[in-house]
DNA sequence: TAGATTGTTAATCGATTAACAATC
DNA sequence: TAGATTGTTAATCGATTAACAATC
């Protein structure tokens, strides 16, 4: 049933198209050609057309793309119209920071719970969402069926937690723990490797320093 | 002088090699072949050898690689032996989370200052480092010469702040703001796009959902 | 209709993998 | 020396760019 698998490099470019289209929309632009968009984004027009055609024909020959239509279609591809709900596991600094990140709501993600294994934190509220004890995770998920779990816990507990989450049938993991987690089929994972990212910056600095 | 430029895809793999080698070292393994390492990491041995040879020959025919030596050499490539110092700009949730992220110290990065434009926060300490007012940024940099500035501020202020930082001669920017920042030659930037990452996860979920 | 611009096929480029001679 | 494994070249694969026929 599934059309042939879309390359991850293409998927990773969709959010960027989405952001640019969102801005065009805000500026009242109602149509755009791949050439025009390519110049604003600093990519080739070919790439834009190729990328979009992985998912279907959203444009019209001789006209270009309708900004609002394309924006909404890419939103659908990104699953933003599904009204994703999420829970954060780990109410440390990082958990708090993610909870406080207002941009997610703008994209249709809704935080419905925060969990921590420290009983001292239970009952506190972050952005109006209460912190619950990790022991109650399974029962909460069974009732509220969140789409995404955000892992903001130390590396050592991450693998165990993933196992528990797998059993609950949760569909997406946004992983900030250091671990290299393997997820079963039918589950999606996206890892943000902060420490790798900082080392990459440092390496880039080495390169520029010796130019 | 610079040997031919190393591809970014290769640079981005170095931190991962570094982590694996660190673990081998911890486990007392003192030599490893590209084949053995490739199996542990789930990549090809060819790729490991190609990647390493972008920077020089670190191995020995018939023997493989000395773990400690290779670990230290990759550490050098990553600039981890430079003892990088960093400042965080923006003491909101994200700034706090980054400050509290102990993994950076382990890799030789040292936080020496935090700045915020909110006078109410000035004087507070995070992880033993005091929050200063943004007005004092330039004078602080002039005296303490930090290597890296972490941008944990809203999108609107990011472009301005980058301009100020450019004037100070700072060499690396770790950017958590939404903006697509352009940096001048001689400056390195690494952007962490949290909201793009979350949308990517959501898109991956769409793909797995329809399999 | 003529002009514009897509969707798509073909050509190019770069990155990954395979193969093997060099050598420890 | 023989066996092992690198460093490096050649082959393959995939992603990007160019070109153009289809068509609005």
Q: Which pLDDT score, from 0 to 100, does residue B1 have?
A: 35
**Mean per-residue pLDDT of chain A:** 94
What pLDDT band is residue B211 in, cutting at 50, 70 and 90?
Answer: low
- Scanning every strand, the nucleotide with its C1' closest to B58's CA turns out to be D6
| pLDDT tens digits, B32-48 | 999 999 999 999 999 99
* pLDDT > 90 in chain B, percent: 86
pLDDT reading at A2 higher than 90:
no
Residue A77 has pLDDT above 80, yes or no: yes
Mean pLDDT along residues A72-101: 94
pLDDT digits (tens, 9 = 90+) for B158-209: 999 999 999 999 999 999 997 889 899 999 999 999 999 999 999 999 999 8
Å between B31 CA and nearest CA of chain A:
23
For residue range A7-54, list pLDDT tens digits in order. 999 999 999 999 999 999 999 999 999 999 999 999 999 999 999 999
Q: Is A195 on the interface with B (CB under 8 A)?
A: yes
Task: Pick the range with the lowest mean pLDDT from A173-182, B17-26, B113-122.
Answer: A173-182
Of the candidates B92, B184, B48, B84, the one whose C-alpha atom is nearest the C-alpha of residue A198 is B84
Burial degree of B5 (CB within 10 A; 0-12, 13-18, 19+) = exposed
pLDDT band per the 50, 70, 90 thresholds, residue B2: very low
Q: Which of A141, A78, A88, A144 is nearest to B93 (CA)?
A: A88
Give nearest nucleotide to A45 (CA–C1'): D17
Question: pLDDT-derived band of residue A1, with 50, 70 and 90 as boundaries?
Answer: very low
Identity of the residue in B97, B188, B194 whose CB atom sits nearest the CB atom of A93? B97
**For chain A, percent of residues with pLDDT exceeding 90:** 86
CA distances from B154 to B44, B45, B94, B161, B175 (A): 41, 43, 11, 10, 11
Residue range A127-181, pLDDT digits in tens: 899 999 999 999 999 999 999 999 999 888 999 999 999 999 999 999 999 788 9
**What is the per-residue pLDDT across A192-210, written as a single tens digit (0 to 9) for each?**
999 999 999 999 999 998 7
How confident is the model over B10-30, as a mean pLDDT? Answer: 97
Tell me the average pLDDT of chain B.
94
Distance in Å, residue A23 CA to nucleotide D22 C1':
31
- The CA distance from B38 to the nearest CA of chain A, in Å, is 15
What is the secondary structure of B68-129 as a DSSP string?
Answer: HHHHHHHHHHTTGGG--EEEEE--SHHHHHHHT-THHHHTT-EEEEEEES-GGGTT-EETTE
Contact call for residues A183 and A168 (beta carbons, < 8 A): no
pLDDT at B101: 83
CA distances from A11 to A72, A186, B196, B205 (A): 16, 17, 10, 11
The two tokens of residue B171 are 């060499």
**B76-111 pLDDT per residue, tens:** 999 999 999 999 999 998 999 999 887 899 999 999
| Residue A113 in this model has a pLDDT that exceeds 80 | yes
Of B13, B7, B72, residue with least CA distance to B44: B13
Q: Residue A10 CB closer than 7 angstroms to strand D?
A: yes
According to the model, what pLDDT value does residue B4 have?
65
- CA B79 to chain centroid, in Å, comes to 10
Q: What are A196's two structure tokens? A: 């790798």
Q: To probe the interface with A, which of B198, B208, B211 has the most A CB atoms within 10 Å? A: B198
Look at residue A121 and tell me whether its pLDDT is greater than 90. yes
Q: Which residues of A touch B19 (CB under 8 A)?
A: 196
CA B192 centroid distance within chain = 10
């Amino acid at each position: 049933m599934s059309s042939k698998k879309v390359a991850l490099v293409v998927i990773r470019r969709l959010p960027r198209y989405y952001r640019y289209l969102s801005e065009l929309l805000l500026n009242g632009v109602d149509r755009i050609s791949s050439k025009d968009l390519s110049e604003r984004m600093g990519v080739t027009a070919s790439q834009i057309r190729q990328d979009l055609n992985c998912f279907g024909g959203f444009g019209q020959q001789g006209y270009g793309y309708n900004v609002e239509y394309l924006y909404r279609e890419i939103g659908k591809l990104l699953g933003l119209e599904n009204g994703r709900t999420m829970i954060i596991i780990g109410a440390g600094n990082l958990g708090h920071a993610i909870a406080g990140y207002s941009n997610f709501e703008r994209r249709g993600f809704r935080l419905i719970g925060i969990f921590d294994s420290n009983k001292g934190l239970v009952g506190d509220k972050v952005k109006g969402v209460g912190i619950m004890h990790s022991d109650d995770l399974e029962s909460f998920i069974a009732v509220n069926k969140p789409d995404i779990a955000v892992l903001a816990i130390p590396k050592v507990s991450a693998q165990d937690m993933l196992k528990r989450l797998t059993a609950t049938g949760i569909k997406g993991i946004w992983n900030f723990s250091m671990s290299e987690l393997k997820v079963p089929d039918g589950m999606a994972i996206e890892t943000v490797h902060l420490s790798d990212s900082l080392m990459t910056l440092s390496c880039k600095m080495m390169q520029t320093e010796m130019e």
